[in-house]
Structure 1
Amino acid sequence: MVIHRLITRAARVVHKSAAFNKTSCLNTQIVRLISIGRCNFAERLYTNKHEWVEVDGKIGIVGISDYAQSALGDVVYAQLPDVDKTFTQNDECGALESVKAASELFTPVSGKVVAKNNDVEDTPSLINSSCYDKGWLFKIELNKETELKELMNETQYKEFLKSNEH
């Protein structure tokens, strides 16, 4: 519904502008508006253990940060949580192994796992090449949305990385 409103609004703005002369111009403007809109609607939140969650409604998509994947090195194995398993915030829920080290995964929020990224289990290097996109780890249905307030936004996370606490 929100995307539909954005597209409609973009079409009106572009149509009224002097620059409107071809469909490609309209499509370019709509894509730009959708890209900008997506950033405003889905904010990535971080834990002090370098996991992130991006929430869409009651579903959180979970992964590890660029800092974490870089610190791990080339990921060669991913053990992700099973679908339908329930976790409490900060529970250990899986593991990643790299050529340098092994690291436990912790869930940033409480809830039930509704999907896991089988592509990451088959090709763990996706975490290194695309930790925020193709390298997501699992999806969880949140049961305590108030826990999101305990997580860091991107600015706070960057400040955390600058500190000696991690």
Structure 2
Amino acid sequence: HVLKHQCPMALFALGTLSPSTKAFVGGASTVYARCDNMWQHINYAGAVTGDRMWRMPFFNDYAVQVLESNGVDILNLGKSENGEPCLIAAVLNQLTPACHDLTYIDVTGSSAEANGYVPYLARGLFTGAPTRALIQLLCHLDYCRKQTEGQEKQTEGQEKQTATA
């Protein structure tokens, strides 16, 4: 509904939709990002805060699996038992218009109790990930927006000076 009436800069979805991701990424959050630029911002925020991020791809063959179904628009389990995280990303990708910058962050592995492998997270306590990275991301995006606006104003001022000279 929101996408029909608003035009957000970016669309984020967070969830714990794929328990199998924990087995292969451990304490990292898996990130499915349509936009390389947004992934770079998320990865930067994760590096600054210590919340580990792991980018995953949107594979077209998984989109085919969720679209080819009997009598439904989208089959949320696909036609295969393999690739659960990629199937989930394909469903989210199909549900979001292509013109929007979709980023899905799966926190299944990172939101659990710390296992002691990462020295700055106390073993047995919940990690709080990726909360720190998301806050850093929002601050960083706001900073980048302000920098861009400042550069645009400076350029406009220079153009006005040139026009009057």
Q: Quick check: TM above 0.5?
A: no
* Greater Rg over alpha carbons, structure: 2
Q: When you count strand as a share of all residues, which structure comes out higher?
A: 1
TM-score where L is the length of structure 2? 0.26
TM-score where L is the length of structure 1? 0.26
Higher relative contact order (CA 8 A, sep 6+): 2
Q: When you count helix as a share of all residues, which structure comes out higher?
A: 2
